């Protein structure tokens, strides 16, 4: 993974870690309904938005995200966590 290359190249062994170590993960939201899966996935994006604004980074419920006031400063992506039309076939484009 190219993003880890600088870390591996500059790594200095220590008592705690003798060689470079990385953990890569991703979040998946699944539901019978694509709109609901996108709504559920939006909670993580919203938690990150709040964290960057130095607010709570606890994962909110979809209802909390829906109720959060949207302003130009904290506008949230409408398709957070959903496939985009560039990566999904037209029949699977995100809901609008």
pLDDT at 1: 78
The CA–CA distances, whole Å, from 3 to 6, 10, 23, 53, 91 equal 7, 13, 12, 25, 32
Helix (H), strand (E) counts: the chain: 3, 0
Tell me the CB-side half-sphere exposure of residue 53, using CA atoms within 13 A: 13
Contact in structure between 20 and 59 (CB atoms under 8 Å): no
Torsion sign across C-alpha atoms 74, 83, 4, 14: positive
Q: What is the mean pLDDT of each run of 10 residues along the chain (96 residues)?
A: 91 96 83 82 81 83 82 59 43 49
pLDDT at 83: 55
d(CA 24, CA 37): 22
φ, ψ for residue 31 (rounded to 5)?
A: -160, 160
d(CA 90, CA 96): 13
């Amino acid at each position: 993974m190219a993003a880890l290359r600088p870390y591996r190249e500059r790594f200095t062994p220590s008592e705690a870690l003798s060689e470079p170590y990385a953990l890569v993960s991703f979040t998946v939201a699944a539901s019978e309904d694509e709109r609901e899966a996108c709504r559920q996935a939006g909670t993580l994006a919203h938690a990150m938005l709040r964290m960057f604004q130095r607010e709570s980074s606890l994962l909110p419920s979809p209802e909390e995200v829906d109720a959060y006031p949207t302003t130009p400063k904290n506008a949230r992506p409408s398709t957070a966590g959903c496939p985009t039309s560039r990566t999904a076939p037209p029949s699977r484009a995100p809901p609008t």
